[in-house]
């Protein structure tokens, strides 16, 4: 996940916006928003100078079919923020080991990013610390148009996801952050760290793979546990 750092223009910061489910007809607009902000600003993408990458686009959009991703929309109908989520399901003991995400990637630079994610999943299994959970909500991409930052949009998108969790008896919200800024945002929203790994400790053939600019120093996995009862703020 990443926060945006692009230059801003003047907008009416008091204008209303709504939080809505991302539907199939929104996919083109969501992808356009990600290309404008998230893809350019994510620290690993920037370090690798990733550029146009159809594999990244497909990866970013594939969890929308889980119907638990949300958009912030301004009064003009423009998407000004998204939180793309997916569902993590506990594997059965009889399941075959899952395929590595990097194995099916043909783009050499994005393959490096997927390789890092595979490595984190090898070292850390969220279900090990939540033995009673069969399903966990996985926050994949949180991105807000820079012109609308500071308006509480990230928090409202996250609150809408809480409603989904409560309706579907899901107690744990999981995010993996490669951006220092997005990790700080999630901590402000009440998430806490359960795993971290410095980029300097991730090596291939003895060489550090990622050296993004400060303050981005590593991967952090954060979670928030949600009670079964609806918080008063959501009533």
For position 219, what pLDDT does the model report? Answer: 98
The three-point CA angle 44-61-176 to 5° equals 45
SS3 for 184?
helix
CATH number of 17-225: 3.40.630.30
For position 233, what pLDDT does the model report? Answer: 44
Other residues' Cβ atoms within 10 Å of the Cβ of residue 211: 10
Phi, psi of 191 (to 5 degrees): -80, 155
Round to whole Å and give the CA distance between 212 and 17.
34
The pTM assigned to this predicted structure is 0.89
SS3 for 47?
helix
- Cis bond before residue 104 (omega within 30° of 0): no
pLDDT in tens, 201-219: 999 999 999 999 999 999 9
Round to whole Å and give the CA distance between 235 and 233.
6
β-strand 172-177 against 135-144: which pairing, if any?
parallel
Phi, psi of 70 (to 5 degrees): -135, 155
For position 1, what pLDDT does the model report? Answer: 64
Nearest to 220 by CA among 103, 123, 90: 123
For position 45, what pLDDT does the model report? Answer: 96
For position 11, what pLDDT does the model report? Answer: 63
H or E, element range at 40: helix 38-41
Total count of residues recorded for the chain: 235
Collect the ranges in the chain with pLDDT lower than 50.
3-8, 228-235
For position 117, what pLDDT does the model report? Answer: 96
- Residue 58 to residues 30, 61, 110, 145, Cα–Cα distance (Å): 12, 5, 12, 21
Burial grade of 192 (CB within 10 A; 0-12, 13-18, 19 or more): exposed
DSSP string for residues in 106-132: --HHHHHHHHHHHHHHHH--HHHH-TT
The DSSP secondary-structure symbol of 90 reads P
Percent helix, strand, coil in the chain, to 5, is: 40, 25, 35
SS3 for 202?
coil
């Amino acid at each position: 996940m990443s926060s945006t750092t692009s230059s801003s223009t003047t907008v009416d910061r008091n204008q209303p916006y709504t939080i809505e489910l991302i539907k199939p007809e929104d996919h083109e607009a969501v992808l356009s928003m990600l290309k404008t902000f998230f893809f350019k600003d994510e620290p690993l993408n920037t370090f690798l100078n990733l550029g146009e990458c159809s594999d990244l686009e497909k990866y970013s959009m594939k969890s929308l079919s889980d119907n638990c991703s949300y958009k912030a929309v301004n009064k003009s109908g423009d998407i000004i923020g998204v939180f793309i989520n997916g569902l993590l399901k506990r594997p059965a003991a009889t399941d075959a080991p899952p395929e590595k995400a990097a194995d099916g990637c043909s783009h050499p630079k994005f393959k490096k990013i997927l390789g890092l994610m595979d490595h984190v999943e090898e070292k850390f299994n969220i279900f090990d610390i939540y033995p009673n959970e069969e399903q966990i909500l996985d926050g994949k991409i949180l991105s807000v148009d820079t012109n609308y930052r500071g308006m509480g949009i990230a928090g409202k998108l996250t609150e809408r996801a809480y409603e989904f969790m409560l309706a579907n008896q899901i107690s744990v919200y999981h995010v993996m952050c490669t951006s220092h800024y997005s990790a700080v945002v999630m901590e402000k929203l009440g998430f806490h760290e359960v795993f971290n790994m410095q980029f300097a400790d991730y090596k291939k053939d003895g060489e550090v793979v990622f050296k993004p600019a400060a303050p981005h120093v590593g991967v952090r996995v954060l979670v928030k546990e949600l009670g079964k009862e609806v918080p008063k703020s959501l009533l």
